[in-house]
A and B are shown apart, each in its own frame.
Chain A
Amino acid sequence: MKINYNFAFFDEGSKREIRRATLKAIAIPGYQVPFASREMPIARGWGTGGLQLTLSLIGKEDVLKVIDQGSDESVNAVNIKKLVKATTGITITGITTEATIIQSRHRIPETPLKEGQILVLQVPLPEPLRYYEPSEYETKKLHAEKEYSGAWLMLFEQIMNYGHMSTGADHPVMVHDRYVMAPSPIPRFDNPKMNCAKALILLGAGREKKIYAVPPYTRVRSLDFEDFLFEAESFQGKSCRQCGATGVYLDEILDDATGKTFYQCNDTGFCMQRLNGKPC
């Protein structure tokens, strides 16, 4: 028996609703637009928000790349690729420059994004103020009033307690000097890639039913203090053991046999391409 899927899984009504929300999100950078998130055949928290955005965008001519925490081959990335492939028949790639749409969880690729590309980021917690304000009604009000002293206070307390800003990932950003936004759990290393990026960045939160966007060439600033500047993770003096790359986000790996630590690219697609001698 042949199962007839809708192209890109969704019925056209679902796509229309996401498309209307997305256009408003692009028009109001960093503002979270509510949408009627659909049930998806993958577990929530594994990218249903990002997947819904991808399915609302994708067409027969697209080439899709999916990465999960830097890897194209994780179970999550593979499941998403399978679903999109089964319902669209489109081409999947591991190479960032070949992709028209890149869906990612927890990383922005090392290869700089191009004009015309769309980066879709999966978001578990879209509300950057939730850490100190549990009520959705109240956080909406704080965004409306541009009342962000709580976000600054949170960072200040981290500096007082730990001597540094302890946001491992998802360090809040200010978008177009108006909205404080959760960049999704990307490492701080990736935050500057959002500033004046050449590609459109769309962010989707399935469980929390929010879509937001950073258009290309838009000012995105990581929150910090004049006398305590934002700092990305530093990999100074370190390089990838496999491809030799420097100035990229590296994973620290402990060699059980020798007891030594070594480093390798977190973005495995990027590393592979360098190993194969191809330009990234």
Chain B
Amino acid sequence: MALDLVHDLQRAYRKTVDSMSRPGLITNIKAQADKVDLEIGCFKSTVVLVQMLFDTEVTFKVVSKREAEITKLLNQLTYAKAAEAQTADFILVLRDAGPFGLEKALIAACPGDLTDPHKSSTIIVEADALSNERDLALAGPGIDAESHIKVQTTGNWVGLRAEKNSEYPLGIEIIFTDSDHNLLCIPRTTQIVKQVVG
């Protein structure tokens, strides 16, 4: 059965809303991702997110070894336009982006300005695995007492993200997904502290 562009995207959107409003809450869009019958070269959950959010009014940047090819396919699929990382509404850091892909995206991403902090980048990141293991502790709006996550990916993203988001309300959002089609959102308001093991 093909992805239903009305009902499947609505379900995926609500999961994204849940995860964005409660950072650390890992939701899953496997039911929707399994219906994606396009071979783009990224996770099927990433394709669902792209179909949910992209259209002609959106600009995006792909960080991948196959950037040119995937950019072309996503443009054909959604009519969203390619842009440089510094100005793109969305940056997609795909699994084959290499060890510094996410770091470069975080450094380049646009955090908006004080008048229009919403005109800022959202980075969609394909991680190796997402879980609620006690690796990073989260605090901030949307989090009751405490929330813990473990994101298996490369690079010093926690530090670079904190730097990018240091002048709230300026900042960027991150949506992580993995090969099991989990979703984890980290809005700019979330404080991340590395758990000390011991």
Which of A's residues lie within 8 Å of B, judged by CB?
6-8, 12-13, 15-17, 19-29, 31, 33-34, 56-60, 115-116, 118, 140-141, 144-145, 176, 178-179, 200, 213, 215-219
Contacts and interface: CB of A to CB of B under 8 A. Distances in A.
Determine chain A's interface SS by DSSP, over half rule: mixed
Interface residues of B, number: 38
Nearest to B113: A144
Nearest to A214: B141
A19 B13 contact: yes
A176 B189 contact: yes
27 contacts: A7-B7, A12-B6, A16-B53, A19-B13, A20-B53, A21-B118, A23-B20, A23-B122, A27-B171, A28-B187, A31-B169, A33-B118, A57-B13, A57-B17, A59-B7, A59-B11, A59-B14, A60-B7, A145-B114, A178-B168, A215-B142, A216-B21, A216-B22, A216-B141, A217-B142, A217-B143, A218-B141
Interface of B: 5-7, 9-11, 13-14, 16-18, 20-22, 52-55, 57-58, 113-115, 117-118, 120, 122, 141-144, 168-169, 171, 173, 187-189
B40 to A, nearest CB: 19
Nearest to B169: A28
Nearest to B145: A217
Given A7-B7, A216-B142, 19 more contacts: A6-B6, A16-B53, A23-B122, A23-B173, A24-B173, A25-B118, A26-B21, A26-B187, A27-B20, A29-B189, A31-B117, A34-B118, A57-B10, A57-B17, A59-B14, A116-B18, A213-B21, A215-B142, A217-B144
Contacts of A33: 118
A12 B173 contact: no
A178 B114 CA distance: 12
Contacts, number: 99
A140 B17 contact: no
B5 A218 contact: no
A7 B6 contact: yes
Contact of B141 (A19, A22, A29): A29
Closest 6 CB pairs of A and B: A27-B187, A144-B114, A218-B141, A24-B118, A215-B142, A59-B10
A268 B122 CA distance: 42
Given A16-B53, A27-B173, A140 B115 contact: yes
A207 B14 CA distance: 25
B21 A19 contact: no
Contacts of B14: 57, 59
Given A19-B52, A19-B53, A141-B115, A26 B169 contact: no
B142 A28 contact: no
B13 A215 contact: no
A26 B20 contact: yes
A52 to B, nearest CB: 14
A141 B116 CA distance: 10
A31 B18 contact: no
Contacts of A57: 10, 13-14, 17
Contacts of A24: 118, 120, 173
Contact of B57 (A17, A176, A200, A216): A17
Contacts of A27: 20, 171, 173, 187-189
Contacts of B122: 23
A12 B6 CA distance: 7
B153 to A, nearest CB: 20
A8 B57 CA distance: 22
